[in-house]
Amino acid sequence: MKLRNIPFSPPDMSEMEIVEVSEALQSGWITTGPRTKEFEKLISICCQTDKTACLNSATACMELALRVLGVGPGDEVIVPAYTYTASASVICHVGATPVMVDSIPDCVEMDYDKLAEAITERTKFIIAVDLGGIVCDYDKIFAAVESKKYLFKPANDIQKVYGRVVVMADAAHAFGAMWHGKMCGEIADFTSFSFHAVKNLTTAEGGALTWKTRSDVDNEYLYKQFQLLSLHGQNKDAFAKTQIGAWEYDIIAPYYKCNMTDIMAGIGLAQLKRYPEMLRRRREIIERYDAALKDHNVQVLNHYSDNHCSSGHLYLVRLLGKDVEERNEVIVKMAEHNIACNVHYKPLPMMTAYKALGFDIADYPNAYNLYRNEVTLPLHTRLTNEDVEYIITNFVDIISK
C-alpha cells in the first residue's frame, strides 16, 4: 500500500480564518476588543447560556473560576485521576488540595459513588471531565453533591449563594456536545472549553468559560470578576480606555494576565462558522471507524445515542487482552506507516508531579486498566476518506497479528 502521512491532529485552517485574521490585523485593534466580545456572544448562543468570558487558555478559565469562587488553601477539589494535567494543576495553582477519584471499571468516566464518598467538609469544587467530547453524567454528579450538601461549609458570599459544592466541567474536548437535550455549557455550574491547536475548534491558544445563570448571582458581576482577574486587576480594559477622556484607571488588586486577543478571536469566529460542518465530518469518520472495528476485540467510546451527541473529539480504542508493551508496539507499528497515534491518558498518579504530591497509581486500578491497553487513532477534519481507509486497513492489520 502506498505510504500516506497522517498527523495526529493538525489544525484545520481555511481561507475564512485567513480573511478574519487579516481583517483583525488591519483593523487597528489586535488585542482584546470587538472581535473577542463578538466571539463571546456567539459562544453563549451555541451553549444556550447568557454569558461567556474568553481567555488565553482553558487552564486560565478553570483557574479563574476557582479564584472567583474563593477556592484556596485548606480547600479540597475533586478531579478524576484519568485526565490531562490541566484539570488538576489549576487546583494546585490556587493552593487548594486535589483529591483524585478512580474511574468506573472499563469506563472513562469517574466513579460517581467514589465521588460521593470523596466529598468532605473541605470540598468546595468538583472538576468533571467530558472526555473525548462525551458529556459525563452530571445527574449523578449533582446527586452526589446533594447527598453531601449537609457537610458544605461556605467560606464567602458567593459560596453561600451556591450552598453546596460547585461543579465545573472541564469541557476542553466537548464544545458543541449535547446531553439529554442540553448543550455542553448549560449543564454544569461552570464549563470551560479549550481552543488549543489540537482541539476541535481552535484559536491556536485560547479558552472560554461559560456558566449557568442563577437568579441569585449577577452575571455582569461574574463577568467583571473574570475581566479583572485576567487583565491585571485594572478596572477598565484597554478598549474602554480609548473612549474620549477615559484615560484614568485603577488597579484593584495585583491580578493576572490571561486575556484573549482579537487576532485569536478572529480565528475563532471563522472556525465557529465552519463548526457545524466540522462536527458532521467528525461524526462520519467515527461511524466509519465504529463499523470497521465492531467485529474486533476492542472497546470504543459511545459517541452518539438517542440522548447524547458527542463533539467527536477523540477516538479512543482499548485493545482488550493486551498490555502496555503490546499497546506501545501497536503505536510504533502505526508510526512505521506514518500514522500518528496517542494515548489518552497516562493517569495523573503516574506522573512525577502528582507522585510528589503523594498520589499512587495502586489506588486507581480502574484508571490504570484504561491506560494499559489504550490507543487513540487520528480523528480530525483534514482526513480524507482515503486517509480514513488507510488508517483502518493498517490498524486492523496490526491488531489482528
Interaction site with ligand PLP (CB under 6 A): 57-59, 83-84, 86-87, 129, 170, 172-173, 194, 196, 207
Q: Would you say 83 or 381 has its CB closer to ligand PLP?
A: 83
Q: Would you say 29 or 190 has its CB closer to ligand PLP?
A: 190
Nearest one of 258, 262, 257, 240 to 249, comparing CA atoms: 240
Q: How far is the CB of 390 from ligand PLP (least distance, A)?
A: 26
SS3 content of the chain, % helix, strand, coil (to 5): 45, 15, 40
DSSP reduced 3-state for 290:
helix
Q: In what order do the strands lie in the sheet with 97-101?
A: 52-55, 207-211, 190-194, 166-170, 123-129, 76-80, 97-101
Beta bridge pairs of residue 103 = 110
Q: How far is the CB of 126 from ligand PLP (least distance, A)?
A: 15
Rounded to an integer, what is the distance from CA 68 to the centroid of its chain? 19
Nearest one of 150, 149, 151, 159 to 70, comparing CA atoms: 159
Q: How far is the CB of 17 from ligand PLP (least distance, A)?
A: 18
Grid coordinates belonging to 398: 496490526
Q: Would you say 165 or 169 has its CB closer to ligand PLP?
A: 169
What letter does residue 97 receive in the DSSP assignment? E
199 is catalytic: yes
CA 362 vs CA 355, 367, 394: distances in Å:
11, 10, 34
Q: Would you say 208 or 285 has its CB closer to ligand PLP?
A: 208
**Cα separation of 176 and 356, whole Å?**
36
Q: How far is the CB of 198 from ligand PLP (least distance, A)?
A: 7
Q: Would you say 193 or 255 has its CB closer to ligand PLP?
A: 193
Contact residues for 58 (Cβ-Cβ < 8 A; gap 6+):
86, 170, 172, 192, 193, 194, 195, 196, 207, 208
**Cα separation of 153 and 185, whole Å?**
26
**Cα separation of 367 and 285, whole Å?**
27
Q: Would you say 84 or 359 has its CB closer to ligand PLP?
A: 84
Is 313 exposed, middle or buried, given 0-12, 13-18 or 19+ CB atoms closer than 10 A? Answer: buried
Q: How far is the CB of 257 from ligand PLP (least distance, A)?
A: 15
The catalytically annotated residue of 114, 124, 199, 212 is 199
Q: How far is the CB of 340 from ligand PLP (least distance, A)?
A: 17
Q: How far is the CB of 167 from ligand PLP (least distance, A)?
A: 16
**Cα separation of 85 and 89, whole Å?**
6
CA 337 vs CA 217, 330, 333, 341, 399: distances in Å:
54, 11, 7, 11, 14
**Cα separation of 53 and 227, whole Å?**
8
Q: Would you say 92 or 158 has its CB closer to ligand PLP?
A: 92
* Catalytic machinery residues: 199
